Amino acid sequence: MKSGKQRRNEIKAARLKRMAKRECSANPFKRPIPEWAVPVNQAEVHYHSMFFDIPLFYLDKEFVCKDCGAKEIWTAKQQKWWYEIAKGALETTAVRCSACRKKIREEKERQKKHMREMAERDPHKNEAFFKKTLKNHAADAPKARAADGRRYWDTK
Ligand SMILES: [Zn+2]
């Protein structure tokens, strides 16, 4: 059976530990560096603002996906890749979870495939006729409007 004093000390120790952890992630520079922090290679990072402090370490960061609202961790390792290999500006940060990013990637891929298919398809056998008709129509339109006595923004 623990005494009241022991319990209080335990609670206090737990609170101090929690506070230290929170401050570590809020301001890593003034606190002991957690062993899982990944050092920043300052020569490799890019930033657009002169007043932006270059961090010394990447720390795992929790964020909320702006599309689906899911919580995800942006790991220190992923940050290092983004800022130093992919050359993302330091002002940028993770905004979408991996599932939403995958969805966007797939949609882009689908559109690219569609455009490729459109470019490679056989022309319609009447394509020359359609093009000629469209061209004639465009050329005749102002004349038709003038003859009609209406301006293009009139609706009646
Ligand atoms: Zn999401």
Do residues 53 and 43 touch, judged by C-beta distance below 8 A?
Answer: no
Task: Please give the residue that has the higher pLDDT: either 74 or 122.
Answer: 74
Against a cut of 0.85, is the pTM above it? no
- How many whole angstroms from 105 Cα to the centroid of ligand 1? 13
Are the C-beta atoms of residues 47 and 93 closer than 8 Å to each other? no
Ligand 1 center from residue 111 Cα (angstroms):
21
Question: How far does residue 70's CA lie from ligand 1's centre (Å)?
Answer: 5
Tell how far the Cα of 60 is from the centroid of ligand 1, in angstroms: 18
Sign of CA dihedral 17, 23, 28, 31: negative
Distance 74 CA to ligand 1 centre (A): 13
Burial of 30 (0-12, 13-18, 19+ CB in 10 A): exposed
Identity of the highest mean pLDDT range in 11-25, 56-70, 122-136 = 56-70
